[in-house]
Amino acid sequence: MKAVLKVICALFLFAAAPALAAERWQQLPAPAPMPKADKTGTAPVNGIDMYYAVYGSGPPVLLIHGGLGYADVWGAQVADLSKDHTVIVAESRGHGRSTRNADPYSYDLMSSDYLALLDYLKIEKTAIVGWSDGGIIGLDIAIHHPERLTKLFAQAANSKIDGVIPTVMENKTFATYIEKAGEVYKKISPTPAEYDAFVTQISNMWASQPNWSDDDLKKITTPTAIVLGDHDEAISREHTDYLAKTIPGAELIILKDASHFAMLQDPEGYNKAVRDFIDR
């Protein structure tokens, strides 16, 4: 009888126990609320209206979101960095509150949009913190317009399409991100019914870009951090190591227990990594 009671108790405790929580790198927390902006609006650049917001004062830092994303993903970083920096966030063409036109997407074009925004805001030089597509845009600017940069913190960026992990679209966390991105688009985009058309347009770029040579990367003179979460779903560690070795003087930073969405999963650790690099 005692043995039977032990089994029943064990089964009861097992059934009553909460399900094991997902590891931190498997979670996709909602972004922290954005602080109140000192200045916000849209800038007319390259035939589109580009949404931007500016916070705080001090050395400038431009935060560039990833593909299908929007500026508010940086809520925790803006709250921290704006204490002693001028923080600029914006939304790439077709993303968030920015419009798009029929021009084919390219990283050169999107880089040109951000440089035009800096001109509009009368900011000569800035540090860039770029995530995913934002990191690629940062690399593009570092290759072609180093005079506009003080430092580059490029997280989850690739310089060739083979840097992307082939199974990324099968990853549950990444699939959740894409689903949520579509929901946000429908709420804030000036063209809320055109998400599929927008994704098709930008996917044409992703099929062949970026595609920089070793010589292109070796031109970079901007102090650069190449950054990756140790559980990134989208960009391979091998490719990240290659970038860090090829870009002259680049620093490799691996974010612990974090994935492609490290700024959401570990905002404190992410902010420290950014500050340790750009404020050095």
Task: For residue 252, give the H/E element and its range.
Answer: strand 251-255
Q: Tell me: the pLDDT tens digits for 173-197?
A: 999 999 999 999 999 999 999 999 9
Beta strands in 77-230 (DSSP E): 86-90, 126-131, 149-155, 224-229
Flag whether the pTM goes above 0.75: yes
Measured distance CA(112)–CA(32) in Å, rounded: 29
Q: How far is CA 144 from CA 125, 137, 247, in A?
A: 14, 11, 14
Q: How many CA atoms lie within 13 A of 103 on its CB side?
A: 17
Measured distance CA(7)–CA(4) in Å, rounded: 5
At 221, the amino acid letter reads T
Q: Greatest CA span in the chain, whole angstroms?
A: 81
**Planar angle of CA 254, 89, 250, nearest 5 degrees:** 30
The average pLDDT across 147-171 equals: 98
Q: What pLDDT is recorded for position 16? A: 38
Name the 3-class secondary structure at 88: strand
Rounded to the nearest integer, the mean pLDDT of the chain is 93
User: Are residues 157 and 233 in contact, defined by beta-carbon separation less than 8 angstroms?
Assistant: no
Q: What pLDDT is recorded for position 20? A: 56
Q: What pLDDT is recorded for position 21? A: 67
Print burial letters for 192-208: b (CB count within 10 Å at least 16), e (below 16): eebbeebbebbeebeee
Q: What percent of the chain has pLDDT over 70?
A: 92
User: Are residues 111 and 142 in contact, defined by beta-carbon separation less than 8 angstroms?
Assistant: no
Could you give all domains of the chain from N- to C-terminal order, each with its CATH number? 2-278 (3.40.50.1820)
Listed in sequence order, the residues at least 6 apart from 186 whose beta carbon sits closer than 8 Å to its beta carbon are 192, 193, 195
Measured distance CA(250)–CA(279) in Å, rounded: 16
166 pLDDT above the threshold of 90: yes
273 pLDDT above the threshold of 60: yes
Q: Tell me: the pLDDT tens digits for 209-240?
A: 999 999 999 999 999 999 999 999 999 999 99
Q: Tell me: the pLDDT tens digits for 2-33?
A: 443 343 333 333 333 344 569 999 999 999 99
Q: Tell me: the pLDDT tens digits for 91-129?
A: 999 999 999 999 999 999 999 999 999 999 999 999 999
Name the 3-class secondary structure at 276: helix
